[in-house]
Amino acid sequence: MLQVIKADGEFDPKVEPDLSHEDLLKMQRYMLTVRKFNEKGMSLQRQGRIGFFMESTGQEACQIGMSYTLTAIDWAFPSYRDPGTCLVRGVPMSALWDQIMGNSADESKGRQMPVHWSFKPWKIVSVASPISDKLLHAVGVAYAAKYRGEKSVALASFGEGATSQGEFHSAMNFAGVYKTPVVFFCENNQYAISLPVRRQTASESIAIKAEAYGFEGVQIDGNDILAVYKATKSAVDTARSGGGPTLIEAITYRIGAHSTSDDANIYRSAEEVEMWKKRDPLVRFTKYLINKGIISEQENEKMIQQIDADMTKVIKERELIPPPAKSTLFTDVYSEMPWHIREEAEEFMRDEGDVGAKKGEE
């Protein structure tokens, strides 16, 4: 298993990736932002200010490390547990909260479930709840890029639960046969909702499954951001140069519940969670940066406070934005609205006006 930074922050300089101090600090800021984003999201849902949330606490290194290897021409097919991918790609924090709140500023006009991202300007393809369907889409986009002679790469991230679905095997097989420029990134966070990984597969790892399809599979420490970056950068470079796909299995852990609708205490022990908290990717990377003299504890704390203040301000601003107009229920479906949909829309809007008038009269 590839590892650069140990749990205590010590590192092996022989395997360190070539990253500037500026890049390392950017990575730290992104990870701290995702951690704060998770805290805020859970708090807002419990207060009834948003309806649903899925946190990714403990998986920040995976999100930031893998997406930091992409360029503007590449395509991202993230999981609903990858807000960090959106941020690294350039999506404003305000757009993430718009999507979660489903307000009128949301690009999808409130039609998607919260944390099911879709941002066309940044080549982030829509997340869907079926956990493995994006893999086929990623392979298709990668095949199209190869066919056109483009140099773009598609990166798809997913949980280990997706590897039990038929789409996973179809995507892997097609990618292997046609050597498509795609990177499969499995965030093995140990649980597919309540199903532990030991009941997910009988193979010795997820990574080894790549051998059956004719390409490389590598297993890495998913709580080590530098290991994530190094392995993904190599896979992206291979794909871009025509070398075909790679399957990366990042060993990590979902510290929180599956979603705000789940109680993880039912299917896993407090001892297990505490064991994984000691491997916290954010604590590990912070120790690494301090050991190298790139940041001090005081500077790191100041960064956290600034992130918190900025995010609080954004949330308050986005909460003031009204929901989408009801007429948007009927738009953006057809290039030319069929007559029967137009009649339904007109009737709906007329009835809505009547209801409003009656309420006014009362």
pLDDT one-digit tens code per residue, 39-62: 999 999 999 999 999 999 999 999
Q: For residue range 261-308, what is the model confidence (pLDDT) as tens digits?
A: 999 999 999 999 999 999 999 999 999 999 999 999 999 999 999 999
Tell me, what's the pLDDT at 332? 85
- Catalytic member of 29, 178, 267, 268: 267
269 by Cβ neighbours in 10 Å (0-12 / 13-18 / 19+) ranks as exposed
Q: Residue 143 catalytic? A: no
CA-based nearest residue to 68, from 189, 150, 185:
185
Q: What are the residue boundaries of the structural domains of the chain, listed by start?
A: 21-324, 327-361
**What pLDDT does residue 268 have?**
96
Instruction: Note the CATH architecture for domain 21-324.
Output: 3-Layer(aba) Sandwich (3.40)
State the pLDDT at residue 351: 81
Active-site residue, 169 included: no
Instruction: Exactly one of 35, 116, 254, 318 is catalytic; name it.
Output: 254
Cα–Cα distances (Å) from 292 to 36, 55, 65, 287, in that order, read 24, 30, 19, 9
Backbone Cα Rg of the chain: 22
Candidate list 240, 258, 284, 318, residue with the active-site label: 258
CB atoms within 10 A of CB 190: 19
Segments in the chain below pLDDT 70: 353-362
**Burial class for 243, CB neighbours closer than 10 Å (0-12, 13-18, 19+):** middle
* The predicted structure's pLDDT at residue 362: 37
The token pair that represents 221 in the structure block: 């420490």
Question: Which residue in 135, 139, 122, 19 sits closest to 73, CA to CA?
Answer: 122
Measured CA to CA in angstroms, residue 83 lies from 2, 211, 272, 355, 357 at distances of 24, 30, 25, 40, 43
Q: Is 258 a catalytic residue?
A: yes
